[in-house]
Amino acid sequence: MKTLYLAIKYLAILVWSCFVVFPFLWALTTSFKTANGVTGGATWIPWLQYEPSLHGWKTLFGGAGGTDITGPYMNSIIVTGSASLISIVLGTLAAYGLSRFTFKAGFVRNGDITFFFISQRIMPPIVLAIPFFLLLRQLGLLDTLAGLVLVYIALLLPIAVWVMVDFFNNVPRQLDEMAWLDGCTPMTTFYRVILPNSIPGLIVAGMFCLIFGWNDFFFAFTLTFTNTQLLPVAIVALNSSVTPWWSLSASALISVAPLILLAFVVERFLSRGGLAGAVR
């Protein structure tokens, strides 16, 4: 019975792994193919089934008449990285305040403020695009990295607040009280006690911000023209009358690489169980 259970378990893991790995494998093989290789059916083994070529990869960096995506890549890192970082810092502070202190302004309470943050993400992006466009134009920040960072902060902050409010609500208040009685002010309590114990929450919020920011195409497209280009827009621009599957596959792999790398790095912090031993 135990063996059967194990067999089923491993089979399920195998099927799921194939499901997850297959798209990457497909993109990886395609990125080393030429036009003939792509149209020649499903082939997997280089040199035996198809002749590998670096053509797709070279075109991404300006070779073989392609477009260099290094600039957009760096832009994406700057915009997504800084917007995520600022959103996490501001969002974490806001979330701690919403979780620990009672706000009253007319009929508005903590729950209403939290919902206000989340509601920013309920609206369809197109509703926000026009005000953002007009605002950035007014500020002279249209088609600039700074403008994009501002817009992305507005988009990512609700995510950070939402995730962190929920996380802080699960951190026992006695931990704050204990820190107060040990001589910490609310601010010292936040950064000396609560923040070091909120690393799993910060990672989840950070990952959400990075994923949403990194993969955004709509605002990167509508709020930029020629001076500033982010990676998703640059990848779409690779397309021409003949779809270059090899360069698209290579760019897809390059695009997803930082997030996968980051997920591997932070995964161990997530599985630690940050609050074990706080209150029992």
Interaction site with another protein (CB under 8 A): 172, 174-175, 177-185, 188, 193, 196-197, 273-280
Nearer to another protein, 158 or 201 (CB): 201
Least distance CB 201 / another protein (angstroms): 13
Count other C-beta atoms under 10 Å from residue 199's C-beta: 15
Least distance CB 187 / another protein (angstroms): 11
Residues 169, 36: Cα–Cα separation, whole Å:
57
Least distance CB 273 / another protein (angstroms): 7
Residue 69's SS3 state is coil
Burial 100-110 (b: 16+ CB within 10 A, else e): beeeeeeeeeb
Nearer to another protein, 41 or 273 (CB): 273
CA angle (167 as vertex; 183, 194 as ends), nearest 5? 20
Nearer to another protein, 102 or 240 (CB): 102
> Smallest Cα–Cα separation from 92: which of 210, 214, 216, 191?
191
Nearer to another protein, 122 or 276 (CB): 276
Least distance CB 192 / another protein (angstroms): 8
Nearer to another protein, 22 or 191 (CB): 191
Least distance CB 217 / another protein (angstroms): 39
Cβ pair 216, 203 in contact under 8 A: no
